[in-house]
Amino acid sequence: MTRQIGGMDTPIIVAAFAGLLVTISLLQPLARRLGVAPSVLLALVGTLIGIAATYLLYTPRTDVFNTIALVFVDPPIDSEKILYIFLPILLFQTSLTLDVRRIFEDIGPILVMAVVAVFVATFFIGLALYPLAGVPLVACLLLGAIVATTDPVAVVAIFRDIGAPARLGRIVEGESLLNDAAAIVLFVILLGILTGKQSPDAVTAVMAFLRSFAGGVIVGFLFARIFILILPLMRDLPLAQVTHSLALPYLLYVVCDQFADVSAVVAVVAAGIVFNLSGPSLIAPKHWTFLHDVWEQIAFWASSLIFVLAAILIPRLVSGFAPLDLLLLLVLVVAALAARAVVIFALLPVLSTLRMGEAVNTKFKTVILWGGMRGAVTLTLALSVSEHVALSDEISSFVTKLATGFVLFTLLVYGTSLKPLIRLLGLNQLTSRDKALRTQFLSLVLSDVRQEVETAARDYNISHEVSGKISERYRERAKAAAIASGSLEDLKDKERVVLGLLALADRERELVLGHFHEKTISNRAVSQHLAAAGRISDMTRSEGRAGYNRAARLPLKFGARFQIAQWLHRRLKIQHFLSITLADRFEYLLVSRIIAEELVAFNTRRIRPLVGERVGSILNDTLCARRNEITRAIEALRLQYPDYADAQESLFLTKTGYRLEESAYTEAHAHALIGAELYNDLTADLARSRQATSQRPRLDLGLKTLDLLTQHALFRDLEPDRLESLAKLVRPQFATPGEKLISKGEKGDTAFFISSGAVEVRTQTDVIRLGRGDMFGEIALLTGKPRSADVIALGYCQLLTLSEADYRRLIGKAPDLKAHMDSLSAERQSMNEASATQSPQVE
């Protein structure tokens, strides 16, 4: 028995959708051959299918195709179903694949391009159309919100093809993701005003936008965290992990849209970002890659189908297009282009001036401006307006016709002229530096290939007559490349250094991914290393060698995350986050040192022959200096936590051993030295052994107050009861290398006792080092005078602090401790006087 959906036979519907999938697959190679974005062909073919189906359904010449034509003229899927089926997975997959850590570095330009640009476009378009449209201003603003969404696929693909800076691609992708979220939230609010469900008051509308947006972020974060907590139950079950991740955006979208009354779009984006950040630490590298691959395939199907389905309806949406509509469409095009130009050419430079983002080349700004194509989301929102029963026919017709016409215009004009614009601007041409590198690299590679071909001929007993022709061909090509490679010598040393550093940055990314897939880098650390490698590449392109050094040093500094963890420890006595942050730092440094060693070897083996001996030596010095800085940072940690350092290095070697063991088993199985049963048994044992290395050693900061008291020479001989009483007064404090503990001129309200580590006291004329068992800061408490010196931590320090009131109480009740403290102060005063008679006392 044949089932029916909406009056249509199910087999016919299935066959129609299968035909669409075949069409989508065939359009991909055609788009590549024609050099246009696939979305352009999808829109064109979808429109042609809609026109053909309409003709076949209503023509009096034949009724043979009526059944299949009806599926396309009146599809068994409306705008609500399209949004519910396709939008959650499109948004989730985009946020899942973004380089989130690098996105946050350009969050200023992205927010301007996304959220601010949505409002600018909405009001530019709405105010431009209102005098001519004959519909309420809110309807014009609604149209502005609908067409404010952008499709970044074509622009990003072209940026990758021409070798544009990676940050431009990130800006465009980040803009599109947040742009869709902001535009849809604004669309819902304006639609509510038009239908009477939302107050037309501006303040109320703004508050509704903020509540919907912020609420979506909160709900999305909470849902993602719940789903992430469940992930460990599916360890080593990649199919279950993918299924689990697929359920998240759908369930979240429904809950937010139907029950929570917050933006479902924003919630899904937030959940995808959280899953992107936390997922790799809970999923094995190969399983995370598998998850990404499956999501990429799902998103391809979804984006293609939503585009074709929406395009099929274009003939219906633009029916009744009048001459006035052409004028309105022209106004819409000009207003949208002007709004985007204002944001790109006026607001982005302001951000660069305020140091909220790096400057963007004018040529790339032009490409971003012209690449503002609209796509499936715009068409689907327009379709939802056409199906909304609470809107008048006049408003529905106005919005749907212009939105659909605008999408077609951007695809047919922007989409087909984008690559010619790239060529016109010269962005598709290799720079002189890249051309020089190409010829030099080609010369070296062809010489190596020629030798390998000759070796293969000897190994396989191929006659010299045959092999000689092939070898001669490579010799001639290598000779021609060697002659052309003389242009590399014309480059200045500075340019060749940048060229080499960029090659090293690319190699660093490959090394990180290699270690990740070999499981010698933990899941939680790989994103930080990839972000660092990407940052190094970007800053080298923009600032040269200085940018490389600055980017390489950035992860060695104690950033905002560490400052927050330290604040939580000092203010709220929460030690857990500081311990995790410090352990993450140690793991990052350890792997960074290994990668730095590998880069030094790579420079000697591959880069030096390309750029020459002199530049190769400069690159080697740069890499060695970076390696030494990393080593010093590791040694600073090792001095304070030697046992943990040994445990981390032991864990790395254990992982390396397991990787070598796995390689040996795989190679033996590939060469049929062991059978499948034995291979599976060996790998199963190895997987069980590897399970123990999935947990990182726990770092004990050693900040237990009683332990720190017994480490200090001043307190170690006290009776247990006195130690317990004293422990109630003092507070432990963790200090990092270079941290300023006391600033000259500030009011003294705390005394410090050094349980481990060392500090440097910097007066006007002298520098004094204090170590374990010393104290500082107490004199200002007693005299009431301002601090007379700066005190800087030389390494990681474990300190005990005592407030002014508790210090006075302690010396009043414990004369023996007071006497000992006085002797320490007198000793330090003698050191001051011996070194410089005018040196002020350390307070």
Q: Please compute the mean of the pLDDT values over residues 61-75 and round it to a whole number.
A: 85
Please say if the pLDDT value at position 491 is more than 70.
no
User: What is the pLDDT, as a whole number, of residue 741?
Assistant: 92
Q: Is 261 left (phi over 0), alpha (psi -120 to 50) or beta?
A: left
User: What is the pLDDT, as a whole number, of residue 329?
Assistant: 93
Please provide residue 576's backbone torsions phi and psi, each rounded to the nearest 5 degrees: -60, -50
Please say if the pLDDT value at position 157 is more than 70.
no
Nearest to 832 by CA among 767, 774, 771, 759: 767
Provide the 8-state DSSP code for 25: H
> Rounded to an integer, what distance in angstroms lies between the CA atom of residue 574 and that of residue 564?
11
User: What is the pLDDT, as a whole number, of residue 793?
Assistant: 93
Confidence of residue 161 (pLDDT cuts 50, 70, 90): low
User: What is the pLDDT, as a whole number, of residue 331?
Assistant: 95
For 564-584, write each residue's pLDDT tens digit: 888 888 888 888 888 888 888
User: What is the pLDDT, as a whole number, of residue 389?
Assistant: 84
> Rounded to an integer, what distance in angstroms lies between the CA atom of residue 94 and that of residue 89?
8
> Rounded to an integer, what distance in angstroms lies between the CA atom of residue 373 and that of residue 390?
30
Beta bridge partners of 792: 740, 760
User: What is the pLDDT, as a whole number, of residue 271?
Assistant: 94
User: What is the pLDDT, as a whole number, of residue 667?
Assistant: 87
Q: Please compute the mean of the pLDDT values over residues 357-376 and round it to a whole number.
A: 78
Nearest to 71 by CA among 26, 4, 1: 4
For 713-738, write each residue's pLDDT tens digit: 778 777 888 788 888 888 888 899 98
For 755-806, write each residue's pLDDT tens digit: 888 999 998 878 888 888 888 888 787 777 888 889 999 989 989 898 888 8
- Alpha-helical (H) ranges within 371-431 are 376-386, 393-409, 415-425
User: What is the pLDDT, as a whole number, of residue 20?
Assistant: 92
Q: What percent of the chain has pLDDT over 90?
A: 20
Q: In what order do the strands lie in the sheet with 775-776?
A: 731-735, 797-803, 750-756, 775-776
The region of weakest confidence among 365-374, 656-665, 676-685 is 365-374
Residue written as token pair 């700066």: 790
> Rounded to an integer, what distance in angstroms lies between the CA atom of residue 38 and that of residue 28?
6
For residues 370 and 421, the answer to whether their CB atoms sit within 8 Å is yes
Angle, helices 545-553 vs 493-517, to 10°: value is 30
Q: Which residue has the higher pLDDT, 267 or 312?
A: 267
Confidence of residue 289 (pLDDT cuts 50, 70, 90): confident
Please say if the pLDDT value at position 69 is more than 50.
yes
In sign, the C-alpha dihedral spanning 649, 654, 660, 666 is negative
Please say if the pLDDT value at position 520 is more than 90.
no
User: What is the pLDDT, as a whole number, of residue 842?
Assistant: 43
Residue written as token pair 């123990």: 692
Instruction: Give, for 756, the enclosing helix (H) or strand (E).
Output: strand 750-756
User: What is the pLDDT, as a whole number, of residue 159?
Assistant: 64
User: What is the pLDDT, as a whole number, of residue 437?
Assistant: 63
> Rounded to an integer, what distance in angstroms lies between the CA atom of residue 686 and that of residue 659?
10
Counting beta carbons within 10 angstroms of the beta carbon of residue 533, is it exposed (0 to 12), middle (13 to 18) or buried (19 or more)? buried
User: Is residue 814 classed as helix, strand or coil in its secondary structure?
Assistant: coil
> Rounded to an integer, what distance in angstroms lies between the CA atom of residue 831 and that of residue 752?
19
User: Is residue 176 classed as helix, strand or coil in its secondary structure?
Assistant: helix
Confidence of residue 429 (pLDDT cuts 50, 70, 90): confident
Calculated CA dihedral for residues 303, 306, 308, 310, nearest 10 degrees: -140
> Rounded to an integer, what distance in angstroms lies between the CA atom of residue 415 and that of residue 438?
31
Q: Which residue has the higher pLDDT, 503 or 399?
A: 399
Provide the 8-state DSSP code for 802: E
Nearest to 414 by CA among 374, 368, 377, 373: 373
> Rounded to an integer, what distance in angstroms lies between the CA atom of residue 271 and that of residue 223?
7
Mean pLDDT, the chain, integer? 83
Please provide residue 147's backbone torsions phi and psi, each rounded to the nearest 5 degrees: -85, 5
Please say if the pLDDT value at position 473 is more than 90.
no
| Token pair belonging to 552 | 């390489």
Counting beta carbons within 10 angstroms of the beta carbon of residue 643, is it exposed (0 to 12), middle (13 to 18) or buried (19 or more)? exposed
Please say if the pLDDT value at position 693 is more than 70.
yes
For 618-631, write each residue's pLDDT tens digit: 999 999 999 999 99
User: Which range scores top for mean pLDDT: 156-160, 535-539, 743-747?
Assistant: 743-747
Count of Cβ atoms closer than 10 Å to residue 598 Cβ? 17
Q: Please compute the mean of the pLDDT values over residues 413-441 and round it to a whole number.
A: 75
Q: Read out DSSP for 224-293?
A: HHHHHHHGGGGTT-HHHHHHHHHHHHHHHHHHIIIII-S-HHHHHHHHHHHHHHHGGGTS-HHHHHHHHH
For 213-264, write each residue's pLDDT tens digit: 899 999 999 999 999 989 888 877 899 999 999 999 999 999 998 999 898 9
Please say if the pLDDT value at position 822 is more than 60.
yes
For residues 843 and 832, the answer to whether their CB atoms sit within 8 Å is no
Confidence of residue 356 (pLDDT cuts 50, 70, 90): low
For residues 757 and 711, the answer to whether their CB atoms sit within 8 Å is no
From residue 736, give the alpha-carbon distance in Å to each of 570, 625, 759.
13, 22, 10
Q: Please compute the mean of the pLDDT values over residues 814-830 and round it to a whole number.
A: 68
The model's pTM: 0.72
> Rounded to an integer, what distance in angstroms lies between the CA atom of residue 142 and that of residue 232?
44
User: What is the pLDDT, as a whole number, of residue 421?
Assistant: 83
